[in-house]
Structure formats: structure tokens, C-alpha cells
Chains A and B, each alone.
Chain A
């Protein structure tokens, strides 16, 4: 009790109990514990997924990367590869797991290519369900997929049949965030057109992608403003995020920035006039908590109730 009084801002007025300080305690405990987050990345090979992930988290998750040739890809099925990296920033620890799905969409016949992915997601739910129902629940590890970046090709006219089928099959199991990488392939007009097409097709097929929550009234102004800007982004202007990734440093006007050097100019990753990279990063970082909550409250609960209904528990 004295601890609470000590750290609270309010004077010891009558009626004040002190549990308003609870969020600070939760915050402090979480910071000590660290956060876990699992991000799945899905898309045909060559769409810039790995480069984008490396750019987002300023790391190299794929140091010894082997890119198979076409002949090898003919026989390959979809693999699930998870890499975990610990990122620390200002005392906050994040244990980030990136789940890659090489082989997706590469085969001539891609009919079964998301079965493996669905299975993986379900397996994580299953494991969590099992742990949750077990006796010793002190150290449940949450390996559930909290967010799935689905990569749409910048070279097409909109969603491909495979994109539609995948999203319809997965929107009830994971938070889907559609992304267009290699956005420097498009002029601004083409980008707008592609985004509009994709959004139209998403709504046409009744696909439910991840929605930003409204900022709660007691959040601070800065957060509210950020959310407002982001929510505006989630209108036809920004979703899907059209991004460019790069870990190469190029000198522009005396500064070293991350970008891509072409004979006709330099594309800057962190320039909001060039692409939505910063918006995507902000979205992910400020909404990690919410992504986890939605996974827990919506997708996991759906899975759980289906499962329990089936086994007739």
C-alpha cells in the first residue's frame, strides 16, 4: 500500500485509494518480463518480403540465405521457417519471431499451398489451448501468430485468385495486414489505382483485414493524434501499405539514408513522399499490443470454441 502512495501523483486526499497507479505497475512488470510477438510473412517469392522485414527491424534475419532455382522450386512444397530475434530498445525487450513461408505461390499448381500455413496457425492455437488447460500455467509461451503481412504483387492489376483464396481462408484465424512491397515499381497514380482495386476486391469478397481500433478517450493526445492519422491511412489512401525496403545506405545531400540507387534517382525508404514504410512501421509498433489482444480475444477464442465444441468437452 505504501508503495502505491509513494509513486502516485495525487495527494493523500480523502477517498483516494491509489489503484489508479495500477497501469504503471503493469507497465513496469511488462517491461521486466519483455514482450513476445510473432509476425508471419506470406507471399510469392521475389516480392521483397525478406528485405522489408530486415528493414523494419533493422536486422538481418536471413544471413545465410539460399535462393533455389526454378527447377528446384518445381518439387518444393511450402515450408514454415521461424526465426527469433531479441530486440531491445530503451530498456524494453522484444522477443520477435518472424515466421516465413517459402514456397508459397511458387508452384505451377498452388492449390494446396496454404494448407501448411493454416495447419501451422492452428497448431500454435492448439498448443496454447493445451497449455492453458494444463496444471502448471506459470510459463505459458505465446507462439500464436499475432499478425500476418500478406504481400500483394506490385506487378499485377489487383488481387490474384490465390490472394483472394488465401485471405478468405485465413481472415478468421489471424490478423491480416495487406502489403505491397517493391512499391518503387509504380508511379504514384498506378499506386493509387492498385490500392483502390485491392480494397474494392477485398470488400467485394467479404475479406476481413485488420482494423485499427479507435483511440480510447483517456489515451494521451499524442497517441490519439497518431491513431487518427493512422486511421485515415486505413482508408482508401493507404491500405494496403505500399512500401520499399532496403538496408543499403546511400548518400543524399550529405546525409546517409537507406534507399535504392537507380540511374534516374534515389528512392528513400523513410521518405513518406516515396512510400508508406514509416506508416507501416508506426502501425506495427504502436499496435503490437492490440494485435495481440485481437488474436487472443477473437481468433483464438474462435478456435477454442470450435475445438471444444468438436470434442464435446
Chain B
């Protein structure tokens, strides 16, 4: 088991994934201890679900993709406030840039407010670092599909596990280099191919390299390029469930994303407070200060508001697409599983 954290944050309740069920018949507003005629108690199901989730905990698998040195590991560590990703921080002599893309998955259990999250960070060292990067996204696409296949095999098993271990990638953070110009050809190619199989959240890395003006211009440019090239990043327009979703997500899609972020695991004293930041001769960059960078927006988005949705879209859309294709290829039949008890990797 990895690092365990207990915090009494006011936001702890927000970590519990909210149910997306909306009541069919609007309930009459009631007090908690109402014994009034007409109160059934159906709304207590939310509390039941919350208790259940707290007991079972949940899986979250996040993949990071981008050239080496863009701060991927630091960002993930900052997101989850713990050393969940081993920093490459300069390759050691023995650890050169891999010649092909490698997939490295590391799991940790983090706890907050009584809720346990089994977080798996999937790193992709070697992506985009070679002289010839043709098709370097293929190992990544392969890995993602392999997780769908694993889940599918488990699903079609006769004697199924009560809770299928979920290794599917729920979220893929794609790191864009802050050149200030435009996307690079490799960025386009990757996102074109992978946005069809996984939720991609593009982020602009090391955003402390740009002034406010440069940042705004660059974000606009990137958004336009993504649109012109038909790349649907998460939250995808076609999966907005209702008007409420659409309004909220439109704002995120058209104004906030891609999030321009800065990561850090070092603390400094600023105005009497300890803050995460980067210290330079000309000032301290505060990671969680919204006037400095958009890290807090990314964190809230991925963890505090859209965590459950990321999982649902992965399950209901991406996985189903994969499943349908597999069944079709197989002539409508589920894939054969010979073994009744597969040796699943322990996720801890």
C-alpha cells in the first residue's frame, strides 16, 4: 500500500462521486426528521450510496503523455498531494531515454475523509523523445485497448467476480509544450488517434514560461487548432447529458481548457502562508494561485467535479464502443474464455 493521507478538508464531501440520478418526480421539500405524511425516504439512497462508496473505495486510473521534461510526474504528484509518480528528474546515467515508448503503471492507495481511492498513474516514458516519432502512439493505444479487453473477458466470464477490477484508463492528460506558437504535428497525430478511445484532457505544461497575454493567445490558438482538426477532448460535446451539463461544459471547453498549469512539490512561505510553488530570482510562482496558473482549475475539474463522469464516460462510451466492435468482429458472440479463474494481477 502506498502513502495514506487523512485530511479534514471542507471539500471532503466533494470527493465522493455524486450520483447522477435525478428524481423523476420532484420531491416535496421536507425536514430531516419529518414524520409527515408523504415522506417516503427515497432520498436517503444518496446517503446509502455514499456509505457504500466509502466502504468499497474506488479505482481511478490516470495516464500521462508528453515529451520528457514537461513536468508530468511533478504535476501528478501535485494533483494528488503525494509522491504517486516517480519523478524522472533528469535521467540518471543508467536510465537513458527509452528507445521505444514504455508503459509504466504504478498504483497507490490514497485516503481522504474516510474515502479510499486506488489511484493508478500510468506513465509513458519515451513518447515523442526520439528523432523518429512515427507511430509512437501505438503502444499507448494498444495498452488502452488491452485494458478494455481485460475487462471484457472478465465481464463475459460465467463465474464473474463481484467487483471487476478496473484497470481501464479513465483519463489521459496530454502535455502540450508551451512554445507559444501552436501545437506540434505529433500533438495533433496523438490526439486524433487517441481521442476516439480514451478521455483526453490537454494541458499546457510549465505554463510559468508565458506571460498572461502569451498564455491567452496560445490557448486560443490551441483551441482553434483542435477544433479545426476535429479533435474532441474531454468533456466531449456529444456526451453532454442535458442543458445543465452543456452550459457548464461549454464554459470549460471554450474558456478554460486547455488548462495552463504549473506543478511543484516544494513549499515556500508567502505572506505568512505555506504555499506550493517555484522560487525564482524574480518572484515565487504559487501553484494554487489562480492569478499565477490554472492548476487549481485542473485539480477541481479532474478530482472535485468530474471524477465520476470521467469513469462513466469511459465505461459507458469508450468501453462500450470497444465491446461492440469486438462482438461484431466475433460475429456477435462474446469472446471465448477458456479459464474460469484468470490470474488477475493484484492491484495493490
- Residues in A with CB closer than 8 Å to B182 are 67-70, 73
- Residues in A with CB closer than 8 Å to B206 are 155, 185
* Cα distance A107–B131 in the bound complex, in angstroms: 9
B188 touches A70 (CB 8 A): yes
* Cα distance A111–B88 in the bound complex, in angstroms: 26
B280 touches A184 (CB 8 A): yes
A263 touches B184 (CB 8 A): no
- Residues in B with CB closer than 8 Å to A273 are 281
Query: What range describes how many residues of B lie at the interface?
Result: 35 or more
* Cα distance A193–B89 in the bound complex, in angstroms: 10
Q: Is A290 an interface residue (CB 8 A)?
A: no
Q: What does the 1/0 interface line of A277-313 toward B look like (CB < 8 Å)?
A: 0000000000000000000000000000000000000
B205 touches A264 (CB 8 A): no
* Cα distance A185–B303 in the bound complex, in angstroms: 27
The A-contacting residues of B in range 159-193, CB under 8 angstroms, are 177-189
Q: Knowing A46-B180, A108-B134 touch, does A155 contact B70 (C-beta < 8 A)?
A: yes
Q: Is B294 an interface residue (CB 8 A)?
A: no
Q: Is B225 an interface residue (CB 8 A)?
A: yes
Shortest B238–chain A CB gap in Å is 23
* Cα distance A185–B90 in the bound complex, in angstroms: 16
* Cα distance A171–B68 in the bound complex, in angstroms: 26
- A interface, over-half SS: loop
* Cα distance A106–B211 in the bound complex, in angstroms: 24
* Cα distance A160–B129 in the bound complex, in angstroms: 7
Q: Is B115 an interface residue (CB 8 A)?
A: no
Closest-by-CB residue of A relative to B283 is: A265
Interface with A: B27-35, B284-292, B315-323, which one? B284-292
Q: Knowing A153-B69, A155-B177, A156-B69 touch, does A187 contact B278 (C-beta < 8 A)?
A: yes
A73 touches B184 (CB 8 A): yes
Q: Is A22 an interface residue (CB 8 A)?
A: no
- Residues in A with CB closer than 8 Å to B88 are 157
Closest-by-CB residue of B relative to A154 is: B209
Q: Knowing A69-B182, A263-B212, A264-B292 touch, does A157 contact B91 (C-beta < 8 A)?
A: yes
- B interface, over-half SS: loop
A165 touches B68 (CB 8 A): no
- Residues in B with CB closer than 8 Å to A155 are 67, 69-71, 177-178, 205-206, 209
Q: Is A109 an interface residue (CB 8 A)?
A: yes
* Cα distance A182–B69 in the bound complex, in angstroms: 14
The A-contacting residues of B in range 266-282, CB under 8 angstroms, are 278-282
Shortest B326–chain A CB gap in Å is 30
Q: Is A45 an interface residue (CB 8 A)?
A: yes
- Residues in B with CB closer than 8 Å to A109 are 131-134
Shortest B334–chain A CB gap in Å is 38
Q: Give the interface centre of A263, A264, A268 by most chain B CB atoms within 10 Å.
A: A264
Closest-by-CB residue of B relative to A189 is: B279
- Residues in B with CB closer than 8 Å to A74 are 185, 188-189
Q: What does the 1/0 interface line of A21-45 toward B look like (CB < 8 Å)?
A: 0000000000000000000000011
Q: Is B152 an interface residue (CB 8 A)?
A: no
Q: What does the 1/0 interface line of B201-233 toward A look like (CB < 8 Å)?
A: 000011011011000000001000100110000
Q: Is A61 an interface residue (CB 8 A)?
A: no
Query: In the complex, which of the residues A71, A108, A268 contacts B186, with contact meaning CB atoms closer than 8 Å?
Result: A108
Q: Which 3 residue pairs spanning A and B have beta carbons closest together?
A: A46-B179, A265-B283, A264-B283
Query: Which residues on A are within 8 Å of B, measured CB to CB?
Result: 44-47, 67-71, 73-74, 106-111, 153-158, 160-162, 165, 182, 184-185, 187-188, 193, 197, 260-268, 273-274
Query: Which residues on B are within 8 Å of A, measured CB to CB?
Result: 67-71, 88-91, 97, 129-134, 177-189, 205-206, 208-209, 211-212, 221, 225, 228-229, 278-286, 289, 291-292
